Amino acid sequence: MEYIISVQDKEILREVAKKQLELANKESNKERIKLWYKHNALQGDRPMIHLEMWTFAQEILPQRLKCTGAFARQVETMLYCNFLNQELFDDDRVTPDYFPLNYDTNFVLFSIKINKQNATDAAGNQSVGHHFESIVEDLEDDYDKLKETTYGVDLETTELKRKAIEEAIGDILPVKLQMDCLYSVPTQMLVHFMSMENMMFAMYDYPELFKEMMGRIADDTLAYYRMLEEKRLIMPTTSFESVGQGTWSFTNELPGWDEWEKRPFTTKDVWGFMDSQETVGISPAMYEEFIFPCYKKISEQYGLLSYGCCEPVDPIWDNCISKLTNLRKVSISPWCKEEVMGEKLKGSKVIYHRKPSPNFLGVDPVLDEAAFREHIRKSLYAARGCKMEITQRDVYTIHNNIDKARRYVEIIRQEIENNWKC
């Protein structure tokens, strides 16, 4: 791709950038930024709310995008994603007063090229599912396919992007090179090249070889982190940087840009994220034996940690996840025992990061307000005594009804107002 922005596209981007800056400077946005800092410091008075948009962005963005150049459309999309939550849904996602740009880094586990096949809807447009081609079928027979892991950073393309964006909108929104949290999901990478079924058989058929492979994943991940440290690509995660799972970094507990100017950062200076959705089919004892040693070794590298996605954490909490001393947020998914985790986290330094069921917003064209209120109320009661955050994820359609999504957020706010007790 050529990182070129035409004169016509530049004018379009400038208008969108002005809109982002306008929203960033609103007093309500600035107040919510303060609330995020308090929340992540375990001093917040109420749960923070985020409706994650990217899964249904196909219903929001296409009619807004006006640029014609491929790179310009990418930039335009990123601009809109910076502020549309604030404009459309009025949740607690906040808008930065700059344009964030990440370095082009890469990490290819065991140098295996992942082959993904997509399925589309009846019209041949929207992706409705995907399948990963299994490269490793039998771990022992195919172990020689696990080559040396490769990783690196493309500084040249990163700089080309930065210059092009800065030339277009830099006088409106500064372009800021940044790093989101360090993101590591080993079992997801395994499933991408050996399938979930083969992964589970491998634990049973070749336990020692499987453990060796997991050890290699941990060591390769740490080697990648050392490369980032050496190149000074470990950068502060203390404000708008993503921590995965629909949450952000805002914290004063980790060093910021002033400190970064003085010394190279290590992974201990930043947020990290991990999950293991793919191991829901194994017992807690097997998770502890085969998976957790790798996860613990990687997670210990971080300053603060957020853990979990859709997997229920209650079965592995006592013997594994609770032992991660830098843990600050843990996912309470629709498959998690809410009340159990509420008791576990009450009065702790770990935020109860609730992910409500997406069915209320995403399945029915008409929102069942009474049922949804009951669902949210149940979570609020379960989390009493905890610090709580609510992120709505995995909604793949809002039936082109922005008002329904906005009402959805409004109902959560009302239930918090009426039923929340710290």
pLDDT per residue over 277-305, tens digit each? 999 999 999 999 999 999 999 999 999 99
Beta strand pairing call for 271-274 and 99-102: unpaired
Q: Both tokens of residue 123?
A: 């019209």
Whether 214 contacts 206, CB under 8 Å? no
How many C-beta neighbours within 10 Å does residue 321 have? 25
Q: Does residue 130 have a pLDDT over 90? A: no
Query: Using CA atoms, how far apart are residues 255 and 269, in angstroms rounded to an integer?
Result: 6
In this prediction, residues 268-279 reach a mean pLDDT of 98
Which amino acid belongs to residue 286?
M
How many C-beta neighbours within 10 Å does residue 308 have? 25
Q: Does residue 121 have a pLDDT over 90? A: no
Query: Using CA atoms, how far apart are residues 145 and 134, in angstroms rounded to an integer?
Result: 12
Which amino acid belongs to residue 328?
R
Query: Using CA atoms, how far apart are residues 221 and 257, in angstroms rounded to an integer?
Result: 25
Q: Binning pLDDT at 50, 70 and 90, where does residue 23 land?
A: very high
Enter the pTM of the model: 0.96
Whether 277 contacts 192, CB under 8 Å? no
pLDDT in tens, 136-181: 999 999 999 999 999 999 999 999 999 999 999 999 999 999 999 9
User: What pLDDT score was predicted for residue 126?
Assistant: 64
Query: Using CA atoms, how far apart are residues 234 and 228, in angstroms rounded to an integer?
Result: 6
Q: Which residue has the tokens 């009402």?
A: 407
Q: Does residue 124 have a pLDDT over 80? A: no
Query: Using CA atoms, how far apart are residues 80 and 366, in angstroms rounded to an integer?
Result: 26
Q: What average pLDDT does the chain have?
A: 96
Q: Considering only CA atoms, which of 345, 315, 350 is closest in space to residue 329?
A: 350
Give the residues across from 411 on adjacent strands.
none
Could you tell me which residues come within 8 angstroms of residue 409 by beta carbon, excluding any fewer than 6 positions away? Answer: 49, 51, 89, 90, 91
In this prediction, residues 301-312 reach a mean pLDDT of 98
Q: Both tokens of residue 377?
A: 């109320």
Q: Binning pLDDT at 50, 70 and 90, where does residue 43 land?
A: very high
Query: Using CA atoms, how far apart are residues 163 and 157, in angstroms rounded to an integer?
Result: 10
Q: Both tokens of residue 228?
A: 């980032």
Query: Using CA atoms, how far apart are residues 117 and 45, in angstroms rounded to an integer?
Result: 45
User: What pLDDT score was predicted for residue 352?
Assistant: 98
Q: What dihedral angle (degrees, nearest 10) is formed by the CA atoms of 363, 368, 370, 372?
A: 20
In this prediction, residues 52-80 reach a mean pLDDT of 97
Which amino acid belongs to residue 2?
E
Query: Using CA atoms, how far apart are residues 158 and 231, in angstroms rounded to an integer?
Result: 14
Cα 360 to its chain centre, rounded Å, is 22
Q: Both tokens of residue 54?
A: 């990217």
Give a three-class secondary structure readout of the chain.
CCCCCCHHHHHHHHHHHHHHHHHHCCHHHHHHHHHHHHHHCCCCCCCEEEECCHHHHHHCCCCCCCCCCHHHHHHHHHHHHHHHHHHHHCCCCCCCCCEEEECEEEEEHHHCCCCEEEEECCCCCCEEEEEECCCCCCCCCCHHHCCCCEEEEEHHHHHHHHHHHHHHHCCCCCEEEECCCEEECHHHHHHHHHCHHHHHHHHHHCHHHHHHHHHHHHHHHHHHHHHHHHCCCCCCCCCCCECCCCCECCCCCCCCHHHHCCCCCCHHHCEEEECCHHHCCCCHHHHHHHHHHHHHHHHCCCCEEEECCCCCCHHHCCCCHHHCCCEEEEEECCCCCHHHHHHHHCCCCCEEEECCCCHHHHCCCCCCHHHHHHHHHHHHHHCCCCCEEEEECCCCCCCCCHHHHHHHHHHHHHHHHHHCCC
Q: Considering only CA atoms, which of 274, 280, 380 is closest in space to residue 329?
A: 274
Ramachandran angles phi, psi of 392, nearest 5°:
-90, 115
Query: Using CA atoms, how far apart are residues 261 and 103, in angstroms rounded to an integer?
Result: 18
